[in-house]
Amino acid sequence: MGAGYCDVAVTATAGGVSQIKALAGSATGGEDFLQNMMCHLLPNFDSLFSSHEINEISSMCVQIDVDLGNGLRICKQVSREEFEEVNQKIFEKCESLIIQCLHDAKVEVDDLTDVIVMGGCSYIPKIKNIVKSVCKRELYKGMNPLEAAVCGTALQGAVASGISDPLGDLDPLTIQTTPIGIQTNRNPFVSIIPRNITIPVHKELIVTTENDNQKEVLIVIYEGDAEKTEGNNLLGYFKIARIPPAPKGVPQIKVSMDINA
């Protein structure tokens, strides 16, 4: 769990080969803790400061004593209980991701051998307790959580470059953590690339118009599991324009998605 993400993976290792069984992830991370605490300490901060000033405050909130400028200063000691209460929904989301990943991997808790935490947020006591409670294991202490992701990236890069791994072979195949899909014509979110599919992947979906002689279609791309787009992460959007006049449902618009890395 880092600044802007929380990912959970179940991997199986045998005979020097490591393979990802399932992944579950969310765009939830340290920034969410920060925003929650800012709203808790400054419930009206949105109306007090401009966006530029809020960004400056965010960078300073890591300090216990925060100077907000204009003669304003906050100095408050937050207890662990208060911190956990303010961020309860984040902790619940983290727990649900672990349970979901184990379910998708079809792995029982008793079958787990090691439990490794990574990222700066893994130092939060509540995060550690959640992981240990769900997995019923003590956390692996043989690697620095702040260095684990970098080590894994370096190892996978070495394997992809053809450098032999002295510890054995590594399966470089990666799995897409969350579904990616679209919303068109204000309709519900439709997944095109499902979760836990092996990368690289190519998927297509045909969409059409909802009105006679409709001239354009707005296609909005989201990442996430929620049926309503408000619960997903907006990736981008584009507009299909100059559609030839035709009855509704006749135009065939192919939306293609590729993930190659």
Domains of the chain plus CATH, in order, are 1-174 (3.30.420.40), 180-259 (2.60.34.10)
Is 90 exceeded by the pLDDT of residue 94? yes
- Which DSSP symbol is given to 183? E
The pLDDT tens digits for 96-110 are 999 999 999 999 999
The pLDDT tens digits for 50-92 are 444 545 544 434 344 555 566 666 667 788 888 999 999 999 9
The pLDDT tens digits for 189-243 are 999 999 888 888 999 999 999 999 999 999 999 998 888 888 898 999 999 999 9
The pLDDT tens digits for 169-196 are 555 567 787 899 999 988 889 999 998 8
Report how far residue 162's alpha carbon sits from residue 160's, in angstroms, rounded to the nearest whole number: 5
Confidence of residue 20 (pLDDT cuts 50, 70, 90): confident
The CA–CA distances, whole Å, from 215 to 79, 200, 205, 237, 239 equal 57, 34, 20, 17, 10
Predicted confidence at residue 136, as pLDDT, reads: 96
Mean pLDDT of the chain: 84
The pLDDT tens digits for 121-139 are 999 999 999 999 999 999 9
Report how far residue 225's alpha carbon sits from residue 233's, in angstroms, rounded to the nearest whole number: 10
Dihedrals φ, ψ of 185, to 5°?
Answer: 50, 35
CB 33 within 8 A of CB 121: yes
Predicted confidence at residue 252, as pLDDT, reads: 95
Report how far residue 178's alpha carbon sits from residue 185's, in angstroms, rounded to the nearest whole number: 23
Report how far residue 208's alpha carbon sits from residue 206's, in angstroms, rounded to the nearest whole number: 7
Please state whether the peptide bond connecting residue 200 to the residue before it is cis, i.e. omega within 30 degrees of 0. yes
Confidence of residue 27 (pLDDT cuts 50, 70, 90): confident
Report how far residue 195's alpha carbon sits from residue 38's, in angstroms, rounded to the nearest whole number: 33
Instruction: Mean pLDDT check: name the lowest of 5-19, 151-165, 231-245.
Output: 151-165
Report how far residue 216's alpha carbon sits from residue 233's, in angstroms, rounded to the nearest whole number: 24
